[in-house]
Amino acid sequence: MEREMFPTVVADIMSSPVIKIDGEANVRDAALLMMDKGIGCIIVMGRGKPIGIVTERDILERVVAPCRDPCEVKVKEIMSTPLITISKDESILEAMRRMRKHGIGRLVVMEDERLEGIVTDGDILRAVSLSALSSFKTLLHIG
């Protein structure tokens, strides 16, 4: 019987390429880009390097709720920093631990100062669910 391969490391489940925006861009441009791409966060760049992350929640809490003008506020003003990162070779379990430790739902995947991808709690949930369902399938001998 052929054995199925399941995701075990971050590289197996991360999203790549990552959508980025310059830190000098305004929040409205970031929001439009996020809407256009159907994503919940965007990586903020400064001098060619990732320097922060802006999520939908950041926009709500730091711009919308306090009635700030999204056309005037720069993304670097509302980004979360420093980035919490992980290597693409780390285990999915380590990614879960790191997210829990920092109370976050996304990790930026970096390799040698290079932005490789992003992994979310949803990515991890899908991978763990797939693995769990497969275990049940094996136990029940469903073919």
| pTM of this structure | 0.85
pLDDT per residue as tens digits for the range 119-128: 999 999 988 8
- The reply to whether 65 falls in a domain is yes
pLDDT in tens, 99-121: 999 999 999 999 998 999 999 99
Exposed/middle/buried for 88, CB within 10 Å: 0-12, 13-18, 19+?
middle
Secondary structure class of 46 (helix, strand, coil): strand
Answer whether residue 26 shows pLDDT above 60: yes
CATH number of residue 39's parent domain = 3.10.580.10
Our count of domains for the chain comes to 1
Q: Is residue 37 part of a domain?
A: yes
Mean pLDDT for all residues in the chain: 91
pLDDT at residue 136, rounded to an integer: 63
pLDDT (average), residues 1-17: 79
What is the extent of the structural domain holding 67? 10-140
**2 found inside a domain:** no
Q: Dihedral (C-alpha) 126, 129, 135, 136: value to the nearest 10 degrees?
A: -130
Q: Is residue 36 part of a domain?
A: yes
Separation of alpha carbons 82 and 51, rounded Å: 7
Is residue 3 included in any domain, yes or no?
no
pLDDT confidence of residue 126: 86
Question: Do residues 85 and 107 lie in contact, with contact meaning Cβ atoms separated by under 8 Å?
Answer: yes
Query: Is 117 inside any structural domain?
Result: yes
